[in-house]
Structure 1
């Protein structure tokens, strides 16, 4: 009888130990799975000119993205990442017209370089120092490639003609609760797969309480950029971007300068209305505004973009009215007559996951 009881006790103890071990393993697996992240977005839109031709001869502002006529595709953005305590990685892939425009200089070598938006590994050396190695989106400018993080669906001239991405090594330093510093050495601008020139670009960023002063030095050219924003009230936000780029005259690269303001008013929990007002100028036929210039090769544009953003769960609907007024007659009206202004309408749908 005692032997039977003892045997049953051993069985119960064994089963209990097995249950605890299995639970611990499953808990460990769940903990490890939580370190992996999978996110992204898809976007599509409708675009029409209000004072210029649509269809085959459709025109668009000289800025990137949301430039195709009629019902058009943005991109599918798929981001996989691993967030470890010390190390991790991000693989950010893009598919579609917006992604193609963002990775315009690739592929340089690989057959699939035009789908890699970002691809980098990082190491949290300490609580205040992080090293990042690989291909990462630019630290300059107010706007970004993903439409999820931009308030306006179309993009500014300043964003479109600054760099999109870099490949190299950067170090981020948390100097205090308010101050941050970033230093980087990178391939020349837009060379994201490898370096065929043997030259390198240098980057720096100084941050203070959400305001950032950026510097990029690249083979005889340099760009100074300020990006920031202020919560003026619980419902009113004002963003700011100002930049100056001085190109290398020996390589025939012109210069540009501009400033953009982003006032945004939240009228409810699910709707915000915002305006982007931008002035942008260029020299030496830089190419942002058009191919028709005055005798000294300079041109400028003033653009107003009014955007509404309605949130329905993970879906954002953005109606947008944009007016571009250039110093030169770089647009063509419906009768084929050159004109200096273009008005357009965009309706975009963005789903993020």
Structure 2
């Protein structure tokens, strides 16, 4: 009898344990992450209102707020959702929703290699991202400012191997991210990646009234030594309807001196092209990265912009401008 009771209790325990495990697995996985950034910036050449290269909808000398970025993610089985909310001047400058929704999408893993994503997602195009936690420099490049920033639509990612990947996308024109598409025009996107090198292409309507805009972009880099990294971004855009476009290139030269400190230099050359003639601007940015903790990073930065065509944003009467910034970026 004791053996029967023991066997029964053991079996019941296994069933309960298995049920608890199954219930736990059914609950899925929830994660919360994000970043907060603040800064002080000043013009070293003049007292003119405006900061050099700071992504903000309220540029000014002195102390400034970046944005708070909170990313809610939930995954259960093969499907999941991401709600990426961003508030603040930096988010406003890069988002037509005035910073409320940075990303909002659902995804489904059809297989180990294929993932389908539907909704609004940050662009696959370019080297830099909206959140400063993903960038080495605090100020942004002209290539980043040329956009696009985000897309609303459907994309399919295919991981052919650990080194090779492909992506296809059909989206609204990238300037339309409010959930409607009154023009009934679309944009096609493509990406192929191989060992950290990415070629990006987008073609179609841009949301500004033009339907034949071509975007080409290369983003990549490599480790020259154990401590020295070289990043590369080159892009080209052209529209026959607009008779305009842009082209540019930037290097991201970064050296890691210790676990706590790295130094980076970003030279960039950028041109706006049109039938009326081209205008050019160059920017040279020196940035340090001090890791005070695993979460808190301090970025002191000096940036020099120069343009004989006087097209530095915020300074139409100047052919050069120098800015100094110190930023704090906290990631959680």
Q: Measured at CA, do residues 272 and 327 of structure 1 come closer, stay the same or move farther in structure 2, by a change above 3 Å?
A: same
**What's the TM-score once normalised by structure 2's chain length?**
0.88
1:39-93 Cα distance to aligned partner (Å, 9 max, x none): 111111111000021xxx4133467349442111111100011233411111100
Other-structure match for 2:161: 176
Report whether the alignment pairs 1:145 with 2:130: yes
- Higher alpha-carbon Rg: 1
Q: Which residue of 2 aligns with 1:60?
A: 51
1:342 Cα offset (Å): 0.4
Aligned to 2:265: 275
* Offset from partner CA, 1:72-129 (integer Å, 9 cap, x none): 11111000112334111111000111111111x337xxxxxx4110011111111111
Q: Distance in 2 between matches of 1:283 and 1:62?
A: 21
Offset, 1:324: 0.3
Q: Secondary structure at the match of 1:328?
A: coil
| Residue 46 in structure 1 maps to residue 27 in structure 2 | no
Per-residue CA distance 1:131-185 (angstroms, 9 max, x = gap): 1111010011000111111000110000111200000111111123322111111
Q: Name the structure 2 match of 1:207.
A: 193
| Alpha-carbon distance in structure 2 between the residues aligned to 1:229 and 1:276 | 13
- Give the 3 Å change call, closer, same or farther, for CA 205–25 of structure 1 in structure 2: same
Q: Distance in 1 between matches of 2:164 and 2:151?
A: 23
Residue 202 (structure 2) aligns with: 216
Structure 2 stretches of 5 or more lacking a match?
Answer: 205-210
1:340 to 311, 316, 319: 319
Decide whether aligned partners of structure 1 residues 185 and 42 sit closer, same or farther in structure 2, where only a CA change above 3 A counts: same
2:182 matched to which residue of 1?
Answer: 196
Assess, with a 3 A threshold, how the Cα gap between structure 1 residues 74 and 19 changes in structure 2: closer, same or farther: farther
C-alpha separation in 1, matches of 2:123 and 2:200 = 10
CA distance in 2, matches of 1:62, 1:275: 14
Q: Does 1:261 align with 2:239?
A: no
SS in 2 for 1:158: helix
The structure 2 residue matched to 1:124, chosen from 83, 106, 109, is 109
Comparing 176-185 with 299-308, greater Cα deviation is found at 176-185
User: What residue is the counterpart of 1:316 in the other structure?
Assistant: 297
Unaligned 5+ residue runs, structure 1? Answer: 108-113, 286-295
Q: Residue in 2 aligned with 1:291?
A: none
Please, what is the CA RMSD of the aligned residues? Answer: 2.7
The structure-2 alpha-carbon separation of the partners of 1:41 and 1:50, relative to structure 1 and needing over 3 Å to count, comes to same
Q: Distance in 1 between matches of 2:311 and 2:233?
A: 25
Alpha-carbon distance, 1:20 to partner:
6.3
4+ aligned runs moved over 4 Å, structure 1:
12-34, 330-333
Q: Is the 8 A contact 1:63 1:156 kept in 2?
A: no
Q: Secondary structure at the match of 1:106?
A: coil
* More moved, 172-181 vs 61-70: 61-70
SS across alignment from 1:246:
strand
Displacement of 1:247 in angstroms is 2.5
